[in-house]
Amino acid sequence: MGYAEMTDEELVNISRQGNHEAMDFLLDKYRNMVKRETREIYIIGADSEDLMQEGMLGLFKAVRDYNEDKNCSFHTFATLCVKRQIYTAVTSSNRKKHYPLNHYISFYSQDEEMKSSVIDFLAAEDNSNPETNLLSQERMGGLVNKMDTLLSKYERQVLELYLDGLSYGKIAEQLGKTEKSIDNAIQRIRKKLS
């Protein structure tokens, strides 16, 4: 007797006993039903093949879990399992659980206007190299020592405020000096540190 002459329930029983051909026959037989169930549904970031796969997974679970004693045909049970599997896939998709994966931006995709990729902006700078950082710190330490020995207290105050971004007028106001005095101090600082 061929598989086509057997009932669905018989096919389920022999496929559970390890007959892979019977399982393949059942999956092929119900493939159109799965297509029908997935036709009207859409998942963000997925295509029709993904939904079809979910439906086929539901069908496989139906074969695995079908129980004749429940007074329900395999066809009805399989349809219910397929619908539930698809519904579960849609609801989990709507939970935004996979949103980052479905809406990612590739590091290597190029911007049309700028003709550059995201990776270009994320490239490591010189300050990410430990050796460069150590050398910079040593140079900075030497510069600070040089400033302490070469600059007067007044010149260090002016330099500190200048490096904080204050204008000549604001520095003069804070130190109680004229703008010309501040300008002269900055000129002296430049000569001493060059």
Query: Are 175 and 158 contacting, i.e. CB atoms less than 8 angstroms apart?
Result: yes
Mean pLDDT of 144-148: 76
Mean pLDDT of 70-76: 89
Distance, CA of 142 to CA of 102 (rounded, Å): 52
HEC sequence for 42-61: CCCCCCHHHHHHHHHHHHHH
- At residue 44, what are phi and psi to the nearest 5 degrees? -60, 130
Question: What is the domain class of 3-102 according to CATH?
Answer: mainly alpha
- Confidence class of residue 119 from pLDDT cuts 50, 70 and 90? low
Distance, CA of 175 to CA of 44 (rounded, Å): 64
Residue 64, amino acid: R
User: What topology does CATH give the domain 126-193?
Assistant: Arc Repressor Mutant, subunit A (1.10.10)
Q: Which residue did the predictor score with more confidence, 136 or 23?
A: 23
- Confidence class of residue 58 from pLDDT cuts 50, 70 and 90? very high
Distance, CA of 93 to CA of 115 (rounded, Å): 33
- Per residue in 169-192, pLDDT (tens digit) is 999 999 999 999 999 998 888 888
Q: Which residues are registered as beta bridge partners of 110?
A: 117
- Confidence class of residue 78 from pLDDT cuts 50, 70 and 90? very high
Show me where the domains of the chain are located: 3-102, 126-193
Mean pLDDT of 3-14: 88
Q: Specify the pTM.
A: 0.48
Which pLDDT does position 172 carry in this prediction? 93
Query: Are 93 and 43 contacting, i.e. CB atoms less than 8 angstroms apart?
Result: yes
* HSE-CB of 71 using CA atoms within 13 angstroms: 0
Distance, CA of 77 to CA of 83 (rounded, Å): 10
Whether the per-residue pLDDT at 117 is higher than 80: the answer is: no
% of the chain with per-residue pLDDT over 70: 78
Which pLDDT does position 101 carry in this prediction? 66
Mean pLDDT of 124-152: 74
